[in-house]
Structure 1
Amino acid sequence: MVQRLPISRRNLLLGAAATFGVPAILAGCGSSEPTAAPPGGKSAGNLGTITLGSNYSDEVPKKSLASVIKGFTQGEVKINTVDHNTFQENINRYLKGTPDDVFTWFAGYRMQFFAEQGLATDISDVWREIGGDYTPAMKAASTGSDGKQYFVPFTYYPWAVFYRKSVWQEKGYEVPKTLDELTALAKKMKTDGLIPIAFADKDGWPAMGTFDILNMRMNGYDFHISLMGGKESWTDPKVKQVFDTWRGLMEYHQPAALGRTWEEAGQSLQQKKTGMYLLGMFVAQQFPENERDDIDFFTFPEINPTYGTDSIDAPIDGYMISAKAKNVDGAKALLKHLAQGSSQNIATKLDPGTLASNSKADTSGYSSLQKRGAELVSKATHIAQFLDRDTRPDFASTVMIPSLQTFVGKPNEIDPLLASIEKQKANIFR
């Protein structure tokens, strides 16, 4: 049985969404941030007002998007910023209600799902202009099951195990190559007075990254993607083994994770209270600029030699146009602006935890961390988009978030939890 978490502001918002629909939430929680419109009106080529629904609610990405939008001179853009989790978990109602013209979203399955539902605008004509600036893989991640494009990639970031170089040098720690070496390192960190692994799951999604990497390391990318697609059973012994392995690592995780945000866990790494942190490269946002050169990472170590370390999570963030867009011409012009390498360069300079999706973007200004991140992605054989992007959005939000939080709170009750997930999955994947 899924554990009932204490009522939080987020849960109250979700309840309000169920009652009143997402547009009410967006109006109540979002902040409208217009950019200056160019002089001259439509007679001077002004495409009017374009609305943009954004989940970039954290300070760094929010500032980054605002800076990029300032360079758009073909119309006025009004950004409606909504808390990341509220936006993401209510996107379906939002798109069926009164959505903005353009909205932030994710590549892969999550994009395809809304395209199939008729909730997104076909932008294949945009891709005929911008396609030369993107790799075939980026285009594939932007393409619906009907072969048309619905998404423009903006930035991406790999998930890895991050640490402070100065701490590791001081303690003499070495990068682990296997799970046994990782466990031995964690034990050493505990004796040195460090919490080995920073961990947070108050918002529900961070624990997904831990499940993803353990499942891919133990059972391989193909099984993981098949499981995300509802084609495998959650009661399969392979899945149980993932949770058993995870349970064995729990004693090295930062305690009370359900009451901690990822930002707070990132700050514990910055403050040298924890030794390492499995997260996206955006953890760099929690470090002052003068400390970012002290951040390094390693890919999660091997567990099953059959798969080694061939797979990683590297989610792609970008933009789509809603099917109910009121200003389609303006929205397409804005997407072309966001697709430019120069626009993405602004973002990656302001946000040290991201990489440009445009293959012709200027990477000479990348920090050492960003260069290492790009190298990690280029060497991966398989790239997953993250659990909540590789599966149905309703399954991710209504089943997996509470289920993983239940596991984090009660890691010894695996069998009934997996049986519950499987039963709910069967009702969703029909």
Structure 2
Amino acid sequence: MSRWLRHRSPSPSEVGFPLGRRALLRGAGAMGALAAVPTLAACGDDDDGGADEGSGAGEVTFGSNEVGSTFAKQRKAAVDDFQSKNSGITVKLNEIDHNSFQENINNYLQGNPDDVFSWFAGYRMQFFARRKLIGDVSDVWPLEGVSDAFKTASTGEDGKQYFVPQSYYPWAVFYRKSLFAERNYAIPKTLDELYALADKMKKDGLTPFAFADKDGWPAMGTFDILNMRINGYQFHIDLMAGKKSWEGAEVKKVFQTWKTLLEYHQPDSLGRTWQEAAQGLHQKKSGMYMFGTFIIDQIPQADREDIDLFNFPEIDSKIGASAIDAPIDGFCMAAKPKNKAGAKKFLKYLASTDASQQASNLGEPFIASNSKADTAKYTTLQKKSAELVSQAKNIAQFLDRDTRPDFASTVMIPALQEFIKSPGNADSILKSIESQKKTIFVD
């Protein structure tokens, strides 16, 4: 198993709140239970446990969910580097299994959490910020080299920041450069150009889009990009938060467009894994693949430099193509850290060029959130990914990170799979989504 398998947001069993049914329902039920614990709001006071308010001198505890991974080495290196530059502050690294950490996050935050811990941007961060279970780190910002788009993804519903980013990976349309050169294909800039390219590919005997949804989550990426291209970033975020109707004309237009695009996708996708779909791209049987950069895991080393990407094209000129999915990993602070001053200094360091540089050396598909990190060791694909994200005005986190995990798993996975199987039933599927949404978004 690739070392990157555990860092992919949509992976059903390795990342975030597991999307396997039983595991997710445990996590979702725990999250729902948080809403019934109003006394936890009192956690956000300013008691620093006797730590020096100015210098942060003393111990900072650091909870990392990367035990046993390549990232674990980077975490230890970051601790050593920080301590060498901040006399009087020591960092105690507490490591735990990735999935165990995610599945028990609510117990962790209600109990005795570390001062600083690994987490995700977007809704998953906002969920706990709203319940006063993580701390306000607004005074850590601005962060040199970290764009406003990342700041937006680090911001809670109250306008304050509760997160600092370190790494990300974008979703885009992947293709083989040699195939496009051989066939004289041009990168499409609009939906009409994309249709024209897909028609040409079909005439050339290719399947325009590789596609797989056996595991339930890959189709989320297609929905995300279509919704953002048709209705814009803010509508998408509001829809994910349960604030917009799934039966509205806006969402119906998304599924109408998707229905047309499905004609250019690999058939029988519900019986295919994303790894199998990636082989079609590698073997030049499929012309394109809308996916995350971890697709590179399925490409032999000798052919990796032939893999390139482009931003999904514009659909509505009024909306543009400046929003993308790029799940961001980083760090939060406990609501009541024992050493608040030290924790904030450590957080600022973790988002710095120094810490980002260490992480950047991990290889594909890692990309540092800090734009000033040295990219000399980046592959061509990493550099292209960084360029794509640097041009984005808004960064979404992928459907399973931008909404409640129980909604993503128990509602959206079966709904999207039903649509793929029977695209003519979109209206009834959307009606069902809306009905179920109202029973879930109740807090």
- Note whether the superposition's TM-score is higher than 0.5: yes
Superposed displacement of residue 232, structure 1? 2.3
Shift of 1:9: 9.8
User: In the alignment, which residue of structure 1 is the partner of 2:48?
Assistant: none
Cα distance between partner residues in 2 of 1:162 and 1:342: 31
One of 391, 404, 411 as aligned partner of 2:403:
391
Secondary structure of the residue aligned to 2:278 is helix
Instruction: Write out aligned runs for 1:406-425 (5 A).
Output: 406-425=418-437
Give the direction of change, closer, same or farther, for the CA distance of 1:114–1:292 in structure 2 (3 Å limit): same
- Match for residue 104 of structure 1 among 110, 118, 127: 118
C-alpha distance in 2, partners of 1:82/1:264? Answer: 26
Which of 197-206 and 242-251 deviates more?
A: 197-206
- Map residues 101-180 of structure 1 onto 2, 5 A cutoff: 102-124=116-138, 127=140, 131-180=143-192
The alpha-carbon distance between structure 1 residues 275 and 97, as it changes in their structure 2 partners (threshold 3 A), is farther
TM-superposed CA distance for 1:420, in Å, is 0.9
Deviation, structure 1 residue 187: 3.5
Q: What code does the residue aligned with 2:128 have?
A: F
Higher mean displacement: 236-245 or 134-143: 134-143
The change in CA–CA distance for 1:224 and 1:358 in structure 2 (over 3 A counts) is same
Over the residues paired in the alignment, what is the CA RMSD in angstroms? 3.6
> Equivalent residue of 2:263, what SS?
helix
Q: More deviation in 198-207 or 260-269? A: 260-269
1:113 to 1:227, Cα distance in 2 relative to 1, 3 A: same
Number of the residue aligned with 1:42: none
Q: In the alignment, which residue of structure 1 is the partner of 2:70?
A: 63
Conserved 8 A contact 1:49-1:330: no
Q: Distance in 1 between matches of 2:279 and 2:342?
A: 40
CA–CA separation in structure 1 for the residues paired with 2:420 and 2:113: 35
CA displacement at 1:82 relative to structure 2: 3.2
Mark the runs of 5 or more structure 2 residues left unpaired by the alignment: 1-17, 33-56, 81-89
For residue 405 of structure 1, what is the aligned residue in structure 2?
417
Matched, 1:272 2:320: no
Distance 1:9 1:358, change over 3 A: closer
**1:235 Cα shift?**
0.9
Percentage identity across paired residues of the two chains: 56
Question: 1:9 and 1:228 mapped to 2: Cα distance?
Answer: 17
Give the corresponding residue for 1:246: 258
Change (3 A) 1:124 1:175: closer
Q: How does 1:184-333 map to 2 (within 5 A)?
A: 184-323=196-335
Distance in 2 between the 1:77 and 1:310 partners? 38
1:35 aligned partner: none
1:282 Cα offset (Å): 3.0
Q: Secondary structure at the match of 1:420?
A: helix
For residue 79 of structure 1, what is the amino acid of its counterpart?
A: E
Letter of the 1:110 partner, please give it: R
Amino acid at match of 1:313: D
1:247–1:172 CA distance, 2 compared to 1 (3 A)? same
- Asked if 1 retains the 8 angstrom alpha-carbon contact of 2:28 and 2:405, the reply is no
Question: What is the CA-CA distance between 1:322 and the residue it aligns to?
Answer: 4.6
| Among candidates 323, 342, 346, match of residue 354 of structure 2 | 342
Q: For the Cα contact (< 8 Å) 1:52–1:101, is it kept in 2?
A: no
Q: Does residue 80 in structure 1 map to residue 96 in structure 2?
A: yes
Greater shift, 266-275 or 112-121, is seen at 266-275
How far did 1:191 drift?
4.2
- Structure 1: how far apart are the matches of 2:410 and 2:104? 11
Q: What number of residue pairs does the alignment pair up?
A: 392
Indicate the SS of the match to 2:64: strand
How far did 1:417 drift? 0.8
Tell me, in whole angstroms, the C-alpha distance in 2 between the residues paired with 1:87 and 1:406. Answer: 32
8 A Cα contact 2:231 2:250, kept in partner: yes
CA 1:382–1:76 in structure 2 vs 1: closer, same or farther (change >3 Å)? closer
CA distance in 2, matches of 1:97, 1:193: 59
Q: Hey, what's the Cα distance between the residues in 2 that align with 1:97 and 1:407?
A: 42
Moved more, 402-411 or 71-80: 71-80
2:21 is aligned to 11
- TM-score, structure 2 length as denominator? 0.75
1: CA distance between counterparts of 2:249 and 2:129? 34
Checking the alignment, whether the CA contact within 8 Å between 2:169 and 2:366 is kept in structure 1 is yes
- Distance in 2 of aligned mates of 1:114 and 1:105: 11
Distance (whole Å) between structure 2 residues aligned to residue 167 and residue 394 of structure 1: 41
Matched residue SS, 1:412: helix
Listed one character per residue, the Cα deviations across residues 273-302 of structure 1 (whole Å, up to 9, x for unaligned) are 422111223323333444332111121123
In structure 2, distance between residues paired with 1:21 and 1:114: 9
Contact 2:58 2:339 in 1 (8 A): no
TM-score normalized by the length of structure 1: 0.76
SS at match of 2:329: strand
Distance 2:222 2:65 in 1: 29
Cα pair distance change 1:226/1:277, threshold 3 Å? same
